[in-house]
Every structure is written in structure tokens, then in C-alpha cells.
Amino acid sequence: MSRIWCLAALGFLHSVLLAQSGSDVEARIGALLSRMTLDEKIGQMSQSTAMASPISAQIKAEIRAGRWGSFLNAGSPADRAEAQRIALKESRLGIPLLFGRDVIHGYKTIYPIPVGQAASWDPALIEEAAREAAGEAAAEGIRWTFAPMVDIARDPRWGRVAESLGEDPYLAGVLAAAMVRGLQGKSLADAASVAACVKHFAGYGAAEAGRDYNSTWIPEILLREVYLQPFHAARQQGAASFMTAFNALNGVPATGNRFLLEDVLRREWQYDGVVVSDYESIREMIAHGFARDSRDAAAKAVAAGVDMEMVSTTYFDHLKQLVESEPIRASQLDGAVRNILRLKFRLGLFDQSVTPPREIEPGAAALRLAERAAIRSAVLLKNEGEVLPIASATTTVAVIGPLADSRADQVGTWSMDARLEAVETPLAALRKALGPDRVLFAPGMRNSRDRDRSGFGAAVDAARRADVVLLFLGEEAILSGEARSRAFLDLPGAQDALIDAVRAAGKPIVLVILAGRPLTFHDAAAKAATVVYAWHPGTMGGPALASLLTGKATPSGRLPITFPRTVGQVPIYYAHLNTGRPASDKELGIPLGNPEQPAGYTSKYIDVDFTPEYPFGYGLTYTRFEYSGLHISAPSIRSGETFTISASIANRGAREGVETVQLYAHWRSASVAQPVRKLLAFQSMALRAGETRAVSFTVSTADLSFYNARLERVIEPGRVELWIAPDAAHGIAGEIEVR
């Protein structure tokens, strides 16, 4: 190689490396900003849904003029390629567009809904699924997704429980970070990476009465201890963007909330990513009663730190005038535009040599991963008489229920790009696994809300001819997700009546529930020998369930959210405070007559057991685990020190299984009362039949810190109870003193 060629090659390499470096990016942003007109800056701050397929002449002209910085849910891969070409080659400054879309739990290949993925308690698996989903979306030109949703969800009436990672801030934080890693990969500039958007900042999950979009009132101490924690975990993981929430938090809409966006996110957390509003949430500040009109809404959103407006056009309509008449400083816009351009540089969108988007289909590796994820997310809630796994060589099964063969319901909410042709339902998979002759099918109902009982006869007939009934009940996909709050959590339609009808056949019932939220099904569960909670398990939910039911795979999922006995207990969550009058398990009945009974004045219900139907962290397997030998390395520690807590976990059954071991803590007394239990850590381990293994956690006093009444994070002296446990209601306990 000649010397000159060598130098040229080195120079090229140097410039490539420089392009990745932060200071070079900042310099390029600065250079671009200095050339941008006010209109072009406002364009970058605007995101639209208006790019249909084919792209209209008007939208093409607007892209050329720099009117838009981003499109949401826009066009086909070919349209996106064309729009990007126009932006790069024909707009004055050649600033690329950023295409966003809701890739929430898969793109073409669908994984279990997020709350189902959370039931795997498996960050590595969740990261892998997010990586695959990012690869599929990025190949089609989508480089920004609006996930993960990390709103703490403690109210199953709220339909977006489906999209959440459950009720616990620690678990949700660990899993959110895994999703961010998967979506963004090692580098955003990788063509298979997609920028994450952590949402909805903040407090959205605490919607009053579980009604979507409703207001939330969260004291700052609870906000920091619980609701903000998973957002912080995602921010620490390097999430590229944040989305503001629709709700008002303590009276101030999240989209105009300077405390959240400026004080917490930008200042305390030193965040330099993009903040995007939710869909029209800037304009909605008028309806909230927070902004006088759309001009005021734009001013308040910009002042709070919302960089990009999703769909509504208050920025386009008013920012120019607001800057010219000076209620808004031009430098405020520059900050927002900088954040947006920084993301575009980090994604490598300015690089014109990137392969244009192309249509893709679910690949074999993605389908295998989706099956694995669906297996890990299913939670075995009951297995009486060990009806499961069914003896696949001899058993004839009756497959019954409206959700046994419904592709669209299996993939769940947020599956607009799902390849439904690739979905394999439980019916199809069971026919494959057992042979068509041993599977009798009678759905009984047309959908989960059906009240018509005319299909019951055929279902009962199938049950009579079979050895076991596999009953696929639950909720259709459309009953959970955004704007799908429910005031009743029971099985909709005539499903309870279907169970009663089928029961008359006298065969053991395996109840498989597909749903987007915790449902209440106490009576149905009592009538079944076995209950498997499958959530909406995604493209490969059918094969996953067939493997679980026939014992080719073993259940290992754990509930990431408490299941109530009845909707009247909601909100119900494991990390509650003890109260001054905690109830005990013995105080369930209503006394007869009218006795004066001071002993019964405890925090309970007189008409239902106060405990949950199934606690947080709960899930059975086909084997049985025993916990023993709890050991804590020191009786006491000082602030700044660490200790280890360990135990033996033994598989006492005849099959292998995965146990998710959980570590909980409780401060016996503190300057601010602490929850009866708080999850500190967890570990999953696979144990062969008869195997015993040690589990050990290292805990630092920082892990034991909490917010005091002055909102300082402190480690107070005191006694802390600790549990190594299979769920939030059981376990073996010890204690340590913090000095």
C-alpha cells in the first residue's frame, strides 16, 4: 500500500471516529443551528402523523421546506425511504427525518405484552426480545419507538396495565433498563438500533379510579420512592428520549410540568436526550384548565422543556410569534433543537449511505425467541392433583373457549404491525403436538364478550368425549391497552356460564387465561383443577402453551403485579404500609348478632378476605422448591458497609424447574414508615430434580436507603427484617441491625 493511500485511509478512519465523538457532534449541531431559520427550528420541534401512503405532494413540499422533524406511524418502508431522500437531498440544510412508531412488544414478530414479559423476571430475555424487535423495525426505517412504558401499575382497572412492567419500582426499573439496552443496542448508530422513549413521565399509572387519562395525586415522597424510580433506571441506562404523560400530576399537567421536566429530569438527572409530548398533550393542557389557549399551551410546554410536539400544532402555530414578541427566548428553542439534532446524529441519520428500508417478515430466530418468551411469561397459578402436564401420548383433549383459536387476541394490544399469518394459536399448536385426532375443538363462544350460549352444547359434547378439558378464556385484545379501563375485572360475556356447562361433563378442567391485566376469577379457578395465566402471549403463544401443557416445557413465570380477589380491593399492592391496626388471617368473618368487638377493628373488609387472590411474585412450577438455612453474614452493619444473605434452595419434586428467588426487606421502625415488604433483588435458577443450590445476595446499606420527610435519601439506624422468598407473602426471615 502506498504511503499516501495509507495516510488517506487513516484520515478517513479518523473522521469516522470523530463523527462518533460527542464534541464533534456538538460542533456539528452548533454549525447547523447557526444556519437554521426560526421556521426550520420550529419544524424540527414538530412531529406529525400526516404522512400517508403514497406521500402527498403537499407533504413532500413540506419536507423540502423543513416543516417537520419527525413523523409518527407514517407510510410504508418505501415511502419512508423516499421521504428521507427528500429531506436529505432536497431540503435546504439536509436535516434527516426521524420516523417513530409504537414498537411496544415486537414489530412483525410479537412477544408477550409487556406485563407478560415482566412475569418472566428475566432481563436477559427481555433485552433479547427488544433487540429483535428493534432489528425488525429499523430494517423498515423506524429508528424511534415509544417504549418502554415504565408507569407503575397498581390498579388493574387501568387498561394500560398491559403495557406496563407491573407494580414494583425495582423490578420495573431492572426490566426497563433491559428493554433500553435491547432497543438501543451497543450503539444507537448501529443500523439495527432504535432510540427508546421512556414513558409516560410521570405518574400516569396512578390514574384515579383506574380511568385512563385521569388525574393523579402523588405526594413527592411517593413519587420519588416509587413512580420515578424506573424512569431513573432507564435514564441511567441511556434512554434516548422521554415522553411526557397525558395526566395532570398534583394539578399540573405533566406536559407543562417544570418540576418534572426541568428540576428532576434536566437538572437532577442531567438528561440531554429528547423530551417529546404525548399525542396532542400540549393542546390538551387547555382542556386540563392549565393553559388559556393554544398559544399559552405552546409557551408553557416550551418553558417546561418539551422539545418536540406530537401531532397537535401549537408550536407551529405560535412559537415564531412567541419568540418574536419575546415571552419565549430564542435560546430556549435552540436547546430543544439541539436535543433533537443530537439524537439524529447519534442515530447516524445524517449518514446518507445507509441502506434504504425494506419490507421484512418474522424470521425463524425471532419466532423461536417469541416462543421462549411466551413460555417464560406464563404463570401457573394452580395445579391440583397435578393434572398438568397432560400425558401427551394417551390423552384426548377438548379444546374449548373463545380464545383457543384467535390470532388477533393472542397478540394483544399494540400489535398493529403483527404478521397475523405467522401467529400459531393454541388449537393449531395442540393439533400439531398431539395429532389432530386427539384434539376435539368446540369454541363454545365466538368471542370473550359473547353472551350467546348456543355453542355450549357442542362444547359440553366435546368435553364428554375427552379426558381433559383445556378451556381458553379471558379477555380479547381490544379490552386492554390505552383507553380500555374496566370497572369490572371478571371474565366478560358468558364465560362463567360456559365453565359451569362444561363442568357437567365431569372432566378435569385446565383453565388457561389470556388477558391484558389481572382479572378476578375466584369462582372459575375453584372449578378448575389447574390455572395457567398466559397474558396475551404473542405470535408464538400457541406453541408455547402447547409445550407447557404437555410438559415439553415447565412453567416458571411469576406475577409482576398483585391479583385481587375482587375489584373492590383495588388498588392492592404488596408494598403497602402496615397501618396501626393490621388485620390477621383469622379475622375474616362477620360476627353474628351485634356484639361490641374491639378486637375486630382492624384494617380489613367485612365481606371479603383482605389478602390478595395471588400475591406479587407468585407462580408455581411442575416441581416443588424448599427454602432453608437462611444466613446473614453479620448481625449488624454500619452505613457504607455491605453484607450477604444466603439460603439453600432445594428442588424436592420429580422434575426440573426454574425458581425465581426474591429478596425483600422491611424496616421495623423508621422516621417515615416503610412498606411491609420491599423487593431488593431477585435471581432465577434452574434446578434439576433433587438438586439443592445456595443462593446469595450482597446488599449494601445504599440498597436499604429511603426518602425521609425532608426528601433526603437516608440510611437510618434501625432493625431491618429480611426475607428470601418465593413471593411477597412467604419466605424465610432474618434480621440485621443498621448502626
Identify residues 276-335 at the interface with ligand NOJ (CB under 6 A). Answer: 278-279
Cell of 115: 406485563
Of 155, 168, 278, 409, the catalytic one is 278
Please say if 490 is a catalytic residue.
no
Nearer Cβ to ligand NOJ (273/474): 273
Residue 24 φ/ψ region, left for φ over 0, alpha for ψ in the -120 to 50 degree band, beta for the rest: alpha
Q: Is 279 within 8 Å of 311 (Cβ atoms)?
A: yes
Nearer Cβ to ligand NOJ (151/371): 151
The beta strands (E) that lie in 608-656 are given as: 625-632, 636-637, 642-651
Q: Is 211 within 8 Å of 157 (Cβ atoms)?
A: yes
105 binds ligand NOJ (CB under 6 A): no
- Reported as type and span, the H/E element at residue 272 is none
- The pair phi, psi for residue 66, each rounded to 5°, is 75, 30
Q: Is 669 within 8 Å of 655 (Cβ atoms)?
A: no
Task: State the minimum distance, in angstroms, from the CB of residue 194 to ligand NOJ.
Answer: 13
Task: State the minimum distance, in angstroms, from the CB of residue 147 to ligand NOJ.
Answer: 8
Helices 426-434 and 541-550, axial angle in degrees (round to 10): 50
Identify residues 464-503 at the interface with ligand NOJ (CB under 6 A). Answer: 482
Task: State the minimum distance, in angstroms, from the CB of residue 44 to ligand NOJ.
Answer: 19
Task: State the minimum distance, in angstroms, from the CB of residue 213 to ligand NOJ.
Answer: 9
Nearer Cβ to ligand NOJ (133/528): 133
Task: State the minimum distance, in angstroms, from the CB of residue 261 to ligand NOJ.
Answer: 17
* DSSP-derived secondary structure letter, 260: I
Task: State the minimum distance, in angstroms, from the CB of residue 199 to ligand NOJ.
Answer: 5
One of 199, 266, 300, 419 touching ligand NOJ (CB under 6 A): 199
Q: Is 83 within 8 Å of 97 (Cβ atoms)?
A: yes
Task: Please tell me the distance from the alpha carbon of residue 473 to that of residue 514, in angstroms, as a whole number.
Answer: 6
Task: State the minimum distance, in angstroms, from the CB of residue 278 to ligand NOJ.
Answer: 5
Q: How many CB atoms lie within 10 A of CB 459?
A: 26
Task: State the minimum distance, in angstroms, from the CB of residue 310 to ligand NOJ.
Answer: 7
Nearer Cβ to ligand NOJ (146/472): 146
Q: Is 296 within 8 Å of 317 (Cβ atoms)?
A: no
2 contacts: CB under 8 Å, gap ≥ 6: none
Locate cell 424511534: which residue? 144
Nearer Cβ to ligand NOJ (146/290): 146
Task: Please tell me the distance from the alpha carbon of residue 502 to that of residue 514, in angstroms, as a whole number.
Answer: 19
Q: Is 315 within 8 Å of 45 (Cβ atoms)?
A: yes
- Reported as type and span, the H/E element at residue 513 is strand 509-514
Cell of 367: 419466532
- The pair phi, psi for residue 267, each rounded to 5°, is -85, -60
Task: State the minimum distance, in angstroms, from the CB of residue 71 to ligand NOJ.
Answer: 12
Nearer Cβ to ligand NOJ (79/278): 278
Nearer Cβ to ligand NOJ (149/188): 149
The beta strands (E) that lie in 329-396 are given as: 379-383
Number of residues lying near ligand NOJ (CB under 6 A) = 6
Per-residue binding letters, 335-364, with ligand NOJ (x by CB under 6 A): ------------------------------
Nearer Cβ to ligand NOJ (253/402): 253
Task: Give the residue nearest to ligand NOJ (CB).
Answer: 146
Nearest to 308 by CA among 147, 194, 146, 141: 146
Per-residue three-class SS string for 705-735: CEECCCCCEECCCEEEEEEEECCCCCCEEEE
Task: Please tell me the distance from the alpha carbon of residue 233 to that of residue 180, in angstroms, as a whole number.
Answer: 10
Nearer Cβ to ligand NOJ (480/674): 480
Task: Please tell me the distance from the alpha carbon of residue 617 to that of residue 726, in angstroms, as a whole number.
Answer: 7
Nearest to 19 by CA among 348, 244, 481: 348
One of 102, 296, 307, 613 touching ligand NOJ (CB under 6 A): 102
Cell of 737: 441491625
Cell of 420: 397475523
Task: State the minimum distance, in angstroms, from the CB of residue 546 to ligand NOJ.
Answer: 33
Identify residues 142-171 at the interface with ligand NOJ (CB under 6 A). Answer: 146
Q: Give the three-state DSSP class for 385.
A: helix
Nearer Cβ to ligand NOJ (351/482): 482
Task: Please tell me the distance from the alpha carbon of residue 183 to that of residue 102, in angstroms, as a whole number.
Answer: 12
Task: Point out which residues bind ligand NOJ (CB under 6 A).
Answer: 102, 146, 199, 278-279, 482
User: Which residue numbers are catalytic?
Assistant: 278
